[in-house]
Amino acid sequence: MRIDSHQHFWQYDPVRESWITDEMRVIRRDFMPHDLEPVLQQNGLDGCVVVQSDQSEEHNDFLLELANNNAFIKGIVGWVDLRAEDIHDRLRHYKQFESIKGFRHVLQGEEDRSLMLRPAFMKGIAALKDFGFTYDILIFPDQLQYIPEFVAAHPDQKFVIDHIAKPYIKDKKIEEWKRDMQAVAKHKNVYCKISGMVTEADFKNWKKEDFTPYIDAVVEAFGTSRIMFGSDWPVCLVAASYEEMIGIVKEYFASFSADEQEKIFGGNAQQFYNLK
């Protein structure tokens, strides 16, 4: 099964989606399953994992309804308040829905850059394992320094780094990010999504070769059994079409074995998220 491991749906609201800047105004509109399904088909993909774009349980309900009505949505990464006193009750509630595979918190936007290490957050992460949920790590490079301690505290929890931790591709900064990613990758319970790269590059003037050293570093650190393709559609549209985004990744891995390509474009996501 060929899977896009990372994309979003929303009905555009200028307050809720205030993170969409003027520079990104091309995505200031609704993006729904009927917009994505033909694109997946045109690119030879069987389904996707939809990831939260709003930190509310109402958004979980919205995504659940979409998944119930669209079989190509193979899984949902939702949001819960991991620091809540009733976190076990909330996770028990979501366990009844087969399409909910895991959760994510927008750590990249937190003023407290090491929020993931706070006791209340760590307690919530520890609860995920009891229910078999995954956790997507959304951070900027300055937060990578905290991730080895974070994931080491939960060795039986499955984690995945979103968007290769958003390195500074536009500025061609790589060494510190690369070193920190290598440290994270030593923890075998952590995967990495090759996604979101075009939005960290120069929106208008990127070239495919801009991404090569960053993908090189991810493959070197994680190997081909712990990486997965994700488009980050529709956010990627601010800098590239879906075809351009997947083209970057397909071209890079064209010389890899058929088995390795199968893992990267679906097998690893299927195993990580337990997709049916």
pLDDT tens digits, one per residue of 202-246: 999 999 999 999 999 999 999 999 999 999 999 999 999 999 999
**Given this model, what pLDDT does residue 210 score?**
97
Matching CATH number, 3-273, of 3.90.1570.10, 3.20.20.140, 3.40.710.10, 3.10.450.50: 3.20.20.140
| Residues of the chain under the 70 pLDDT cut | none
**Given this model, what pLDDT does residue 109 score?**
96
**Given this model, what pLDDT does residue 28 score?**
96
Domain borders along the chain are 3-273
**Given this model, what pLDDT does residue 254 score?**
98
Structure-token pair, residue 189: 């319970």
**Given this model, what pLDDT does residue 260 score?**
98
Is the pTM of the predicted complex or chain greater than 0.85? yes
**Given this model, what pLDDT does residue 74 score?**
98
**Given this model, what pLDDT does residue 17 score?**
95
